[in-house]
Amino acid sequence: MKRIKALLFQNTSVKQTIFKNTFWITFAEIVTRLLKFILFVYVIRFYGALEFGIFSFAYSIVALIGIFFDFGLSNIITREFAKHKNEERVFPSIIALKLIMGILTVVLILIVSLLLSKDPLVIQNVGILAIYLFLSDLSATYYAFIRAKQKMEYEGWLKILSSVMLVVLGFLTFIFIPKSTGLSLAHLVSMLILWVCIISLFKKGQAKYEIDLEKDIIIWKKYLSYSWPLAITTVILTVCYYTDSVMLGYFGLIKDTGVYNAIYKVIGISAIAIPLITQGFYPLLSKNARENKTLEKSWGYQNQALMFLAIPITIGGWYLAGDIITLLFGVEYIQGVVALKILFISSFMLYVAVSCNQLLIVKNYQKEMFFPVSFGAVLNIILNYLLIPKYGLNGAAMATAISNMYLLVVGLILVRKFLNYNMISSEYLKTILCSMVAGVLMLFLIKTLKVSLIINIAISGNIYIICFYVMNKYLMRRSIYEFEK
């Protein structure tokens, strides 16, 4: 028991800390996403595409404008607090800044929602979800503090609690408020319960905040100067993620909005590895930001882990798209098959793009990312405007894929230009080759097996892991050695 406690609750070495952080982030993310996924599968079937489209349209409006809740501060908090322990003293002042930004953003969301929709049900959902997302983002600020101290077990417990409450309240709303508004209220109430726990956890050991506007403004300027380029980058990713849903709703394609957001839940659960791996590595990368060789090596491990998961998910997801939609959501959503296939390819590009962006942030190159990445947001908006009226939800998927391809190319160019890091190392190439061969064998097995979809995925996935392990450990050793020579 002592060994388990030391392994999962203490920071004793670099490798153990990475393992502990990754374990808790992974465990919490898997539990929360699976619970929410189960809830939303039922929600999508229960409401139908039209009612779920109303909720999705409202949520997308809130999430799109909600970037101003954080403005890139959470990642900066983790980075600065991890590098300089004495920075923790300014945390209360940053919370005060976040409260001001949050109130202003809620007002902005309500104004924008009135311009985009006249449906009172949409506006009602927007109001509830705006408060929910404000509180959610504020909690993320506390998570950033926890990550800087590399005590991610606390974040894991809080996230699991929040998701459990959301699922329980979500199912209760089917009984008492069987409309999209009920689901929005379930989100808000679950977040209020989480805040009781956060306040209880942080009230001890925190200095009492005393208003000193002159000092606060200096602190706010400092952190906003770090965060605004990062905020713009996050805006791009948020635009690429939510503009399609907002425009589908704006063009009156509410049912398409429901179908599109339903299939995006599949992409969300399949791409769970991105936040799990990147969040687990982020504190370590930040800590080693000044040690270029150590940083490049750690970043290489992260890229290998991402590629190991990205290839089989893309191959399997693309081939099984129709079966997945039918199993989870029913035939009402089958029109989303083509869009889902496009989004699986799109998410593959995001695996690499996010890793490049993370490295640039760690090395404080946010400002250099500003203009090239800003163009991505404009490109996404233009593509959605042109493609959605003609192709509906398939056009939205195509716009997302093209935007992600652009972000991938930009990320690779910036990493090469400013850091001179070589992503295609021998080990990375080895991972790609092993994953591709194992992925092809996995696809052959998927086509051959005449069993249920879930059993098929389980068997094929395990075969992929075995094939990858055998190739990586034995068959590729000599060829990679010769490549390096």
pLDDT per residue as tens digits for the range 244-270: 888 898 888 888 988 998 898 888 888
Q: Which of 405, 423, 441 is the last residue of a domain?
A: 423
Q: Are 407 and 348 in contact (CB under 8 A)?
A: no
pLDDT per residue as tens digits for the range 90-123: 777 778 888 888 889 899 999 988 888 888 888 8
Same domain, residue pair 410 and 455: no
Same domain, residue pair 64 and 136: yes
Average pLDDT rounded to a whole number, residues 124-151: 81
Q: pLDDT at residue 356 above 70? A: yes
Number of domains within the chain: 2
Q: pLDDT at residue 373 above 70? A: yes
Q: Which tops the pLDDT comparison, 106 or 236? A: 106
Same domain, residue pair 265 and 329: yes
User: How does 349-358 read in b/e, with b if 16+ C-beta sit within 10 Å?
Assistant: bbbbbbbbbb
Separation CA 34–CA 190 (nearest Å): 17
Q: Are 57 and 186 in contact (CB under 8 A)?
A: no
Q: Which of 370, 400, 423 is the last residue of a domain?
A: 423
Same domain, residue pair 410 and 453: no
Q: pLDDT at residue 274 above 60? A: yes
Same domain, residue pair 409 and 433: no
Same domain, residue pair 417 and 442: no
Q: pLDDT at position 481, please?
A: 38
Same domain, residue pair 471 and 385: no
Q: How high is the mean pLDDT of the chain?
A: 80
Q: pLDDT at position 211, please?
A: 57
Same domain, residue pair 398 and 288: yes
- Global pTM? 0.73
Same domain, residue pair 341 and 477: no
Same domain, residue pair 376 and 431: no
Same domain, residue pair 247 and 135: yes
Q: pLDDT at residue 484 above 50? A: no
Domain that holds residue 472: 425-485
Q: pLDDT at position 249, please?
A: 87
Q: Which of 371, 394, 423 is the last residue of a domain?
A: 423
Separation CA 37–CA 278 (nearest Å): 21
Same domain, residue pair 433 and 416: no
pLDDT per residue as tens digits for the range 388-434: 999 999 999 999 899 889 988 888 888 888 777 766 777 788 888 88
